[in-house]
Structure 1
């Protein structure tokens, strides 16, 4: 069985407060993009996991393995599988690649073993793996609150626009990103702001992570400026970075940005 685990971008990201449990409440919009990792699953005598493509830093069990064991703990009848993951979505980029991989493993295991889990059930399992993991179960644009795990569906369609993503050779951990942020109540209603013409988003829709990250990694800010110079209607760092995306009315030549990072051209879902 082969699954194509897509990425997401954040449109706006406000860090409103630090919670007593150490997490932060946020407000953001998750929007899916067709930029894929490939998750391949085969029957096996025992569970195994291999990865290819972009290097994944070693930090204990990967999310795919955690997803497998999480589901198997409630469904012992799940058969052992060998998972091979081809990484295309950059790591430490704010694009949700790891969370997406885990969500698609959960969905594939449910289908493979005929568990017939509903989307709501899969989302509950996914939420145990990562704050944004549950988003990838249904892959629809949502307004996310809480720690990024409470979703409200929104109407947003960027299919007529051209999106480009630029990822510099910088890895930013979530902990590093939050260490640069001073939580504050959002000054803008994000759900109302996205109803404005896209060219007006830059006046209202912000990513709170940018301010501290730009100071530490000026090249990320330079990428954003270059995207605007090239005619982007809106440009922003995605999530906690380091990837930056631009939304254009039509395709443009961005060869010169390759000196600042790897350029990706996903197609909208």
Structure 2
């Protein structure tokens, strides 16, 4: 299939620089604090508008029926919300590891909403797009918000935060971690005292889910231990991805080379591991697509 007639839109990945679980609501949702950071690495969404109102994805995704595809659901939801008479063909070029705690599917859905807001000439304001996106998942509003954010509540309270220019190495062991299982674990601490931005800037933070995951998934523990040789490593979200920050691109690329060229990490972890280098973004590339 050729993508010549399609327009391309980035869908950046994100990492959780920390994740504290501060409580639990009566309905079962966990209260949290975190900082979400956008990365200059991710998927690409290709969209071709249609005049016949139909919404199609151009190829099947193994294990993901079209009706469950977040990108397709996002397009249908926006169409239903606005009554648009247009349609779209949608193709996704995946780079973000699936199930890695990097927000790949949520970012894809958000980029579809932002792109169609412009392509269909809807001119919806950001707050309205965020309300649409929230129906698709808790992380989708962040990508529509489009800035690095201090996150609270169940993930719906977003406050813009300025972060330093930082390079990251992100590695993902090829294992499946059930987010629901980790959040349901009896070992999970759910009473971490609320922290502050000042404490975060001094790195007096952690990931409450990491202890649980490390106990149950030795591959994640080994990735953290290996990466910590070069810079303090931490798990993103509920895993399986692990990241470390570096002051410059050269240092990050040197570590990545040890993963890709020598396969040193794969031998240590004893499973397939993918890795990438990314620079932190200040703003989502499609931020201007909503007011």
Is 70-79 or 180-189 further displaced after alignment? 180-189
- Structure 2 CA distance, aligned partners of 1:149 and 1:220? 28
- Structure 1 CA distance, aligned partners of 2:278 and 2:85? 34
In the alignment, which residue of structure 2 is the partner of 1:120?
Answer: 127
In the alignment, which residue of structure 2 is the partner of 1:226?
Answer: 226
Q: How does 1:1-269 map to 2 (within 5 A)?
A: 1-44=7-50, 45=52, 46-50=54-58, 57-58=63-64, 61-157=68-164, 159=165, 161-180=166-185, 182-187=188-193, 189-196=195-202, 201=203, 204-229=204-229, 231-232=230-231, 234-250=232-248, 251=251, 252-253=254-255, 254-255=258-259, 256-259=264-267, 260=269, 261-269=273-281
- Structure 1 CA distance, aligned partners of 2:103 and 2:219? 21
Alignment: residue pair count: 257
Distance 1:188 1:26, change over 3 A: closer
Give 3-state SS (helix, strand or coil) of 1:241's partner. coil
Q: Which runs of 5+ in 1 are unaligned?
A: none
TM-score (norm. length: structure 1): 0.89
Q: Which runs of 5+ in 2 are unaligned?
A: 1-6, 282-291
Q: Report the alpha carbon displacement of residue 64 of structure 1 after superposing the two structures with TM.
A: 0.8
> Quick check: 1:51–1:87 contact (8 Å CA) kept in 2?
no
Give 3-state SS (helix, strand or coil) of 1:148's partner. coil
- Structure 2 CA distance, aligned partners of 1:178 and 1:94? 13
Note the alpha carbon deviations across 1:18-74, whole angstroms, 9 max, x for none: 22222111111101011111101113342111458xx66436511111111111112
Q: Report the alpha carbon displacement of residue 258 of structure 1 after superposing the two structures with TM.
A: 4.2
> Quick check: 2:38–2:280 contact (8 Å CA) kept in 1?
yes
- Structure 2 CA distance, aligned partners of 1:38 and 1:89? 10
Q: Report the alpha carbon displacement of residue 192 of structure 1 after superposing the two structures with TM.
A: 1.7
Distance 1:168 1:50, change over 3 A: farther
Distance 1:117 1:34, change over 3 A: same
> Quick check: 1:18–1:24 contact (8 Å CA) kept in 2?
yes
The two structures, once aligned, show a CA RMSD in angstroms of 1.9
Give 3-state SS (helix, strand or coil) of 1:89's partner. coil
TM-score (norm. length: structure 2): 0.82
Q: Report the alpha carbon displacement of residue 139 of structure 1 after superposing the two structures with TM.
A: 2.4
